[in-house]
Chains A and B, each alone.
Chain A
């Protein structure tokens, strides 16, 4: 079965950086696009970024463009999100999500909490 396990969250000061990881299993990771989606405390869902199966195409939400970078290592079945110039409004649970069956975002990880605070 599909498993997505995020890690790397924590507390960081405004202006700081953090790298999130998502370990994928249960499907052929190198064949499928992957997303990051976030959820601020008590709020709804916000799509953050997407990478094509080979990393050749990447899309970002306007709110993170120029600050966040999505990447993947298909040899390690791992997705990453490098977050720079973090702001308090980036505080959220960050979910890794798969795009396996050509019907959009399907499976979700359990999430990792990022808190940006001084």
Chain B
């Protein structure tokens, strides 16, 4: 199974400041069809997960432009340009290239400093 490793696991950020989360996979996530199935999820307190980014860098509908995904191969990053209060929660990376099973990172807890 592909192991997804996120860092940091805890991320205190001042409102209005940028934030960055790293995700590394144990093997390349480039699929034979040429796509890279690396997604980012947000889980706000008490809510179910919501997908923010799919295929490394594509924002889902309704996701603010301050969220940006990047990376390739085995190294990926989610960046928030200016953190807002509503961004508090846990962020997960998830791979869908080598499945089953789908695998997730451990989660990064973003909090306001």
Contacts and interface: CB of A to CB of B under 8 A. Distances in A.
Contacts of B96: 103-105
Contacts of A108: 48-51
B39 interface: yes
Contacts of A101: 54
A93 B26 CA distance: 27
A60 B101 CA distance: 8
B50 A104 contact: no
Task: Give chain A's interface residue range (CB within 8 Å of chain B).
Answer: 20 to 34
Contacts of A44: 92, 104-107
A61 interface: yes
Interface stretch (A14-22, A45-53, A73-81): A45-53
A105 B94 contact: yes
Task: Give chain B's interface residue range (CB within 8 Å of chain A).
Answer: 20 to 34
A25 to B, nearest CB: 16
A72 interface: no
A103 B55 contact: yes
Contacts of A105: 39, 51, 94, 96, 102
A27 interface: no
Contacts of B102: 35, 37, 47, 104-105
Interface string B91-104: 01010100111111
A61 B1 CA distance: 11
Contacts of B101: 47, 59, 61-62
A37 B35 CA distance: 23
6 contacts: A37-B102, A47-B100, A47-B104, A60-B100, A104-B39, A105-B39
Given A50-B99, A103-B55, 8 more contacts: A95-B49, A103-B37, A103-B39, A103-B96, A104-B37, A104-B54, A104-B102, A106-B54
Interface of A: 35, 37, 44-47, 50, 59-62, 95, 101, 103-111
